[in-house]
Structures are given as C-alpha cells and as structure tokens.
Amino acid sequence: MPRSSGARAPQSVERRPRETRMRRITSHWERRHFLALANTGVLIAVGLGACVGGEGHDAGVSSPEALRRPLSSVVALSFTDELDTGAKDLGQYVRARVDQVARGTLPEGVEFPLANAATDDVRAIAGLSTNVVVSWLDPLSFDTSHAAPRFGANNDYIAFFGDGWDEVPGEPPQWRGSGTSAWLWVNHESISNDFPTPTTAPTGQHLTLAMFLAAEKVLSNEVTANRWPSADLAAYVREAKRQVGGSWFHVVQDPASRKWQIDRGAEAVRYDATSRTLARLTGIRPLAADRDDEGHALPPGVVSGIMSDCSGGQTPWGTVITAEENVQDFYGDMEVFWTSEQKFVRGAGADPGGPIRFDTRASATSVFGISPDRETHHAKDLYGYLVEIDPGEAPDEYEGKSAAGRGHKKLGAMGRARWENTSFAVDASFELLPDEPVVMYAGDDRRSGRVYKFVSTNPYRAGMTRAETRALLDEGKVYVAHFAGLDNTTGVTMLATGEAPTESAPGQGQWIEFGTTSGAIAPNAAALGEPGKTVGEALSDLDYNGIGGFERDDDVRRALFTASAKVGIMELNRPEDVEYNPRDPSGAPRIYVAFTNHGRKTQLDQEGRLIDPTAHERSAPKRPDMIGNVFVMQEANPESPGSSTSFTFLRVWAGAKATGPYDAANPDNLVIDREGGVWFGTDGNFAANGTAEAIYFLDLDRAHAPGAPGVVAPTFGKAFRVVAMPSDAEATGPALAADMRTLFVSVQHPGEHVWSAWPHGE
C-alpha cells in the first residue's frame, strides 16, 4: 500500500548476470521485534530477537503474558513421506490419495481430504511438512537498517525460479532448474484495516505498521491517538508505500529438515509504490507526464511505482507479470461512472451527448491521497495495469533506460482494469507457440467484470531474443469474452435451460474485438434498434446505450469496464484468476476461470441495454451467487488461439454453502501443475461457511467418474482440501517448486477481522 520517499528506500541494485547476483552481505543482523495485539491496538512488549514465526522460522521474543500480532507470511509445504503410495512428488501423492478415495482403498486412519474445520494454524494432509519461510516486516538480508529491504504486507502471488532454469537459452522457467534452491517473486497487495487520518487512529495492520515505525523513530506522534499531525501522516504514507509491490529473494531448502529458509546472503530486491520503483508505460499514452515523489519530472512515459499487486503470471521468457488490481483504493477510482451496485452515475464524466472525460487527480480520501505532501500524489490513469517486472534488475531500471528489453514496463496495450492475474497461451512444454502471436488472458476482478484476451500484432518466432519477445507485448489487439446465452439474472446458468453449462451442453461465446475501428457487431446492437452497428461505431457514438463516446482507442483501453458495458458484453461473477492449461486432462488446451461471487445488481439487462439509473434500484436484477464457481473456456481453434474468434464454456466446479468434506466456496487463485492438474485457493469460504480458507486439488480424471471401472465413490469434479489457513486468512499465491515436491502458499491477512495469534502460536 502506501509508501513514499520520507524514509530511504532500498538501494538500487546494479545489473549483473544471474549467476553473480548473489553478492554476500556481511552486515550484522539485529531485528527489532514488536509484539502487539493488532485487533485491539494494544502494544504488549518490545524487545530484541530473531524472526518470528512457526516451525522453521526463527523464534522471536516471547513471554507467557504476551499477545502477539498476526502477520501475513509465506508457508512452504514440503513433500516428506509418500506413505506407501509410491509417489515421487506432491502432485503424484495427492493424485494417489484421490484415486484411493475413488476406489475405496484409502487406508484406515488416513484423513483425506483435510478436515473442513477452522483453527488458528496452518494444517496440511499427512505426508507434508510445513514451515513459515518469511513474514511481513522480516529483513530480507542480514541488514536491518531502515533502508534495507524487508518483506512487504499481505503477500499474494508467488513465482518460483529454480536455480539454473535459464542454463538452456530459450527455455521457460516453468518446471526447470532446481527444486531445492530458487529465487522467489512474491506480490504485496495491500495493508488491511483502517489507515490513519488527521482525526482517526489506524487499526489492525495499519496500526501494526505504525507501531513498527514509531519504534524505528520514523513517527514521533502517539500512534493510537485520534490526532495525527501532518508531518507524521506524510511520513506514514511514505512508509506505507514501501509495504506494497513485490519482493525478490533467494531461498534454499535444508536437505535434512526439509525446511525452507531465506538465503540472507543473496541480494534481495524490493519493488514498491514509491518513485524508487519506475516502469515505462507502453502501448498507451498517459494523459499527463508523471514525476517522482520529490516533484521532479520523469522521462516521457515513465511511471512512479507499482501497487495493489494481487496475482500475476510467469512469462515463458523469465520475467514476472504482476497485476495491479484494486488501485482505486490508493489514489481513487478513475472509472467513477458506476456505484458498487453497478448503477450508472450521471454527471461523473460519461453522460451521453459528449465524449467520456476522466478526472485523474488523486482523491484526498484515498490511502495515498491522504498524505499532505502533494508531491507524492500521482495520477489515477498511471495505475491499473499488468506490469512486467524484470526481476533482479534495480527497482528504477525502467524498460529501455539502459537497453531495449531490459527493465520494467506497464502493459498499456492490454488496457486498464482491476486485473487479478494473467496467463499465456503456451504448448505442452510451457513454451510460446512458434509462428503465432503472443496471447495473454486476464480477468477484471470486480462484480460484473469481464475476461479479456490480448493478441500481439506480430508473431513470436523461434530464436527471437528476449528483448524482441518482450517487445511483442507493446502492440496488439484486445478482445473481450462475450458469454452469449448466459442468464443475466444469475451469471451461472444458461437462459435457455436454467442449468449451468456442461460438457455435453456447453455455452457458446464470442471474442469481441475492442477498439474504435473494430468491425465486430456490438452484442446489443439489435436490442437497441441498430442491427449491424459495429463495436467501433458503438464505442465512438456519443449517445449509444446511454453512455458517452470514446474519442480514441487509448480511452477505450483506459476504461475497459465502461467500454464493455457500452457495447453490451455479458457481465460475469467476479472473474479472478484466469489460467491457460496446455496439458488439460480433457486432451485439449483449456482456460480456467475462477468466478468468486457476485451478490449485487447488474449494469445491463439480458440484451445488454443499460438499465436506466433512475429505475436501477427497482429493476436491475440482483445476482444471487455468493459462493462462486470454476468455469472453463475452450478456444474454437486451440492450435491458434490468437486467431480464434469463438469459444465454448462450461462449469467444472460449483461452490457450496455447506461444511461437508468436499465443500468449499469462493474460488480465487488457480495454479496449473506440471501434469495439467488444477489447484485453487479460496477467498470468502470463512465468511460463507465458517471454515478455513484452503488450497484444493480439483479431480478432473474421468477414470474417477460415475460408472468408471473400479470406482466405488466417484470423485470426478470434487475438490480435495490439501492445506488449510489459520483464522480468517486468505489462501493465495499457490506455487509449486520445479520438482513439484514443495507447494508455496501465501497466508494473507490472518486476524484481519477475527482474533489470531498466527504465526507465533497461542
């Protein structure tokens, strides 16, 4: 979240070959450790000690009476015992257990899936061991000076780069390199609970950070008081900006204990929301030039900082795409044309009869905009992108600063949205499809958000350099998925049948090209009495569908949510992770989409017409889905997904408001394993069902379907709980090591709304 220039940021890291980036740091490590009850804001003890954490994480100072604060952390689940299954890795082990359940041969006394319960600890199935690798505010080196990099807040997406993955030029990082020694990229999304204002004290995680900063002598005020002087408020926002973004650090597994630890002698790098992190915005022109946090002009197209980094994607050429999701929290929403119930707001800049206009000024009530230091405010249109990070490069090494194809950039050609993640169309070896354009998929994670596809203008050719491949993302077309025939009142079932789409009766969807020159027919053209009206004509029309017009393609890409509504694209139930599976059990590549939930009203009616804002409250349908689903999309032309203009879609898993052994709700992050297995984490199950968020393996093996030989308890389509989170923590960022013997998980915001003592223990 907020972080700024008042305190020094991590020093720039000189670019060196990967094998020499592990410069040893010799400074002494002394970690100040705070013990606090974040839920009440009571400071219990202050002392000196090592890293806090559970087993495998250096123990912190404790006392019998101490109540210690909960901290977001990365946990490693290591495959330690095959328990007579013959499995060689974690994936094989879970599959073997699933097969035993299906065939009625699960050994007596074995708990699988994991019990559907709620505790204040990380629980895992037998055969796996767990340890905390790193927690919020932990130093990432032996240097504990204020300028040194520390692990950020609310960790989310994790990418694993096994040591040696790039020894063979041109090979992707997926499933290559060491499984016991690696570099990790980890996203930092936000700081939970209430931030301080001039008249209110922070709560929860914001209070934890304030206490930390007070002990570091960064703040001089009483942090629990309801009066915050301007100087302290500005200092807090500068430091809060350091807590979001991403961390890049080296980890190793102890061969004896199987515990994972940070290699603190390797040079870690932090990327954050301050102007110490810079990225070039490509594929779109910003509405105004940016400047750094001191007010100095930045080079044309260069943007200050990254933020709200939710999930992401690992590119086939070895960079990381980090997705800027809820950026409206940090400087304010730029698409202010909609309420949280999807009602169109008149007088906000998108009224019919004129071109759509954007107010890019930072909101004074936003997390970063609350700072009285206006130099640290930045324009809204500079955020909300998929950002390609060149991990290990200095934070301020924006793409092209030193050389083409080196450094960080925001992918404006894909447009602005509340991006959850991205995934690339690849072959069965997880390599780019030769002689085909680069294809990316991503979801706009909001109620009524849509799924989008980017297709590069130029194709990828075998033998392209890394810089040439990266340049393909700067130019291309954006397509939006129109789930035709979906019932607008549910977002789950088909209008014609009243049932969710299935393998035998799938839905038929279209990819609609976006842009002011698009010749595709607008889905709502006939309903609006203009059959044959193209998307390009509709987007440019100043009155079409009761929404103002887009003057240029850049404006369309700046406001994908509004543009999608204008042309009548079917609304979806919060598309979160979107993952391309090149080794799908069905035998053809498929795209998996986690639809988390909806539970609110829609923008449009069934035919794609804008619901009159004066009648919205009484006439707009309220979608009942509060538990979520997992759908799959299959391109009509899977060999050439960039040229495919249609797709089929069906549901493969349904959430449940229940607490049975296979029940769960609100799927969020997805991960595809080396063999094409599908795993997902949940965000909202604790609220829906009162049981822990967890990571699940989804059984899509047709050998386990009803009637299959030897099957006594069909498990096809069921989700198996493998690891459960503490308290109300979200299960995010699942990532498998190259050898699939370790699963890394982000335990995000434990104790956000309920009591927790994790990761310290009671």
H or E element that contains 232 = helix 230-240
CA-based torsion, 113, 114, 118, 121: positive or negative: negative
Alpha carbons 46 and 49: distance in angstroms, whole number: 10
Number of residues that this document lists for the chain = 762
246's tokens: 């991403």
Residues of the chain with pLDDT under 70: 1-68, 762
Q: Which of 228, 442, 425 is nearest to 324 (CA)?
A: 442
Asked if 702 contacts 584 with a C-beta cutoff of 8 angstroms, the reply is no
Q: Tokens standing for 640?
A: 């050439």
CA distances 610 to 127, 547, 601, Å, are 54, 8, 12
Nearest to 685 by CA among 62, 117, 81: 117
Where residue 336 falls (left for φ over 0; alpha for ψ -120 to 50; beta otherwise) is alpha
Proportion of the chain in helix, strand, coil states, percent, rounded to 5: 15, 30, 60
Whole-angstrom distance, CA of residue 351 vs CA of residue 50: 57
DSSP 193-204: SPPPBTTB---H
Question: What is the rounded distance in angstroms from the CA atom of residue 738 to the CA atom of residue 734?
Answer: 13
E strand intervals along 416-475: 423-424, 436-443, 451-460
Q: Look at strands 278-282 and 409-411 and give their pairing.
A: parallel
- Report the 10 Å Cβ neighbour count for 300: 11
H/E run at residue 401: none
For residue 232, CA distances in Å to 219, 227, 237 come to 6, 10, 9
pLDDT for position 29: 27
* Strand, coil or helix: 554: helix
* pLDDT at site 762: 59
Q: How far is C-alpha 115 from the geometric centre of its chain's CA atoms?
A: 27
Q: Which helix (H) or strand (E) holds 98?
A: helix 90-103
Q: Which residue has the tokens 């994972």?
A: 260
Give which of 177, 99, 227, 122 is closest to 712, Cα–Cα: 99
Residue 28, classed as helix, strand or coil, is coil
C-alpha–C-alpha distance, residues 101 and 113, integer Å? 9
- pLDDT at residue 688, as a whole number: 98
- The confidence score (pLDDT) of residue 252 equals 99
Q: How many CB atoms lie within 10 A of CB 706?
A: 10
**49, 55, 57, 59 alpha-carbon torsion, rounded to 10°:** 0
Round the average pLDDT of the chain to a whole number and report it.
92
For residue 91, which of 675, 670, 580, 717 has the smallest C-alpha distance? 675
Q: Rounded to an integer, what distance in angstroms lies between the CA atom of residue 434 and that of residue 438?
A: 9
Whole-number CA gyration radius for the chain: 25
- Kindly give, in sequence order, each residue whose CB lies less than 8 Å from that of residue 467, ignoring residues fewer than 6 positions away: 403, 404, 405, 406
> How far apart are the C-alpha atoms of 37 and 40, rounded to whole Å?
6
Q: Which of 243, 184, 231, 207 is nearest to 3 (CA)?
A: 243
Instruction: Work out the widest C-alpha separation in the chain, in whole angstroms.
Output: 74
Domain ranges (residues) in the chain: 81-126+655-727
Question: What is the reported pLDDT for 69?
Answer: 83
* Residue of 51, 239, 253, 38 lying closest to 138 (CA atoms): 51
